[in-house]
Homo-oligomer: A and B are copies of this chain.
Amino acid sequence: MKSYLKMDRGELLREKAELEEEYKKIKALGLDLNLTRGKPSPAQLDISMDMYDMIHSGVALIAEDGTDCRNYGGMDGIGEAKKLMAGFMDCRPEDVIVYGNASLNIMYDTIARSMTHGVLGSTPWCKLDKVKFLCPVPGYDRHFSITEYFGIEMVNIPMTQDGPDMDMVEKLVSEDEAVKGIWCVPKYSNPQGITYSDETVRRFAALKPAAKDFRIFWDNAYAVHDLYDDDRDELLPIMAECEKAGNPDMIYQFCSTSKVTFSGAGMSAMAASEANREGICAQMSIQTIGHDKIKQWVHSHYLKDMDGVRAHMRKHAELVRPKFEAVEEIFSREIAPREIGTWIKPKGGYFICFESLEGCAKAIIDKAKQAGITLTAAGAPFPYKKDPKDSTIRIAPTFPDIEEMKQAAESLVCCIRLVSVEKLLESTGQGCA
């Protein structure tokens, strides 16, 4: 199979003609496949249904410390839920505040609070002329939507195989007092599936921010979402590293069971230093009388501990892994030898991130859309939805079934090839027009 980069204009034109035929056939199939969002499949959701066998009228919903989970109170969560979520976040149970159904909501509220009330006594961000956040790219679109919504200026930080470009992070954080935060998905990052190296984590922990109210927003969304039980990425515990480095207050960690039990109906949590937790709870006690402790009870008694979580996640992996491997197999066969794109083979998480030839992502996504395959909008993994190279495509393989996923990947390959050929013809065009 010949690399497109080595084809001459004639070869490319022949390839184009063939691909146009193939694309026509795909369109005729009338597909309707959605690869946009990282949603678990119904089969994955079925895994946790027996959780609800644990609650019924014969059960006392009493926490280990005697708290009646059916009544008001318990601002920061019941003990067993803290213990469980501490396992997700590799920290002490006392570091944890357990929240409601969504870690995104915690992150939003954290920024909203900083806007109106500052951080531990700092000037409210809404009173400052400029607030900036560093955004490793590609990243999670919903993070960027929050900072954009609050008028926070976002600065792109390139991702490397080891995590964000730490030279750039260190420079900006230490030199610019307007830099108040950085968005991180440190394990199986969204969308690339990269896990930050130990050195990256240590460099994060050792940051010397110009702004006293600078915080690392450590969204450990895929903490336990490994595809391979015997080949897991291990993330260095950031809280311990921050403590060692004398920066205990610099870190906010977030996680949830959204992709462990039920999406939108799971349990979320945050971990932070004692000083941070005090500041947070002071505000939270104005916002709510407490989060849903029945959900906390059932989640912690069902998943029990990290052994329970690992065993549970193996069931997810069995369903999800074949879909990731199907994409891997098809791309390796069809894309790699033609040299029209790259991707990282993730060992966990929810996405495969495809990097097309420059200037092709939007056209590929449009072509796929016309053939009935909906992908995350071009630019979505970037602040302001602007992909500077127009090359990043996020693929979410979990929701469709395996046959659909294969069909979608094969069809997507046709779109990628066709757009790549057109692009290459464009650049060879001038010489031959």
Contact = CB atoms under 8 A, between A and B. Distances in A.
A72 B37 contact: yes
Interface residues of A, number: 55
A429 interface: no
Contacts of A73: 39, 264
A422 to B, nearest CB: 35
Interface string A117-151: 10000001010000000000000001001100110
Total copies of the chain: 2
B265 A108 contact: no
Contact of A53 (B37, B56, B142, B292): B56
Contacts of A265: 69-70, 292-295
A322 interface: no
Given A112-B116, A116-B112, A149-B286, A42 B57 contact: no
A286 B108 contact: yes
Given A53-B57, A56-B52, A101 B45 contact: no
Interface string A294-305: 110000000000
Given A53-B57, A57-B53, A287-B104, A71 B145 contact: no
Interface string A301-312: 000000000000
A70 B262 contact: yes
B263 A71 contact: yes
Contact of A55 (B55, B258, B290, B293): B55
A263 B70 contact: yes
Contacts of A48: 70
Contact of A116 (B37, B42, B72, B126): B126
A40 interface: yes
A396 B265 CA distance: 32
Nearest to A107: B287
B52 A68 contact: no
A57 B49 contact: yes
A291 interface: yes
A133 to B, nearest CB: 14
A286 B49 contact: no
A64 interface: no
B101 A292 contact: yes
Contacts of A56: 49-50, 52-53, 56
B112 A39 contact: no
A100 B42 contact: no
Contacts of A112: 112, 116
Contacts of A105: 287-288
Nearest to A126: B126
B108 A287 contact: yes
A283 interface: yes
B71 A264 contact: yes
A289 interface: yes
A329 to B, nearest CB: 27
Given A40-B71, A50-B57, A101 B100 contact: yes
A115 interface: yes
Contacts of A70: 42, 45, 48, 262-263, 265
Contacts of A50: 56-57
A118 to B, nearest CB: 12
Interface of A: 37, 39-40, 42, 45, 48-50, 52-53, 55-57, 59, 68-74, 100-102, 104-105, 108-109, 112, 115-117, 124, 126, 142, 145-146, 149-150, 258, 262-265, 283, 286-295
6 contacts: A42-B68, A72-B258, A100-B292, A108-B288, A116-B150, A264-B289
Given A108-B288, A112-B116, 12 more contacts: A39-B73, A45-B68, A48-B70, A52-B52, A52-B55, A71-B262, A71-B264, A101-B291, A112-B112, A262-B294, A264-B291, A265-B293
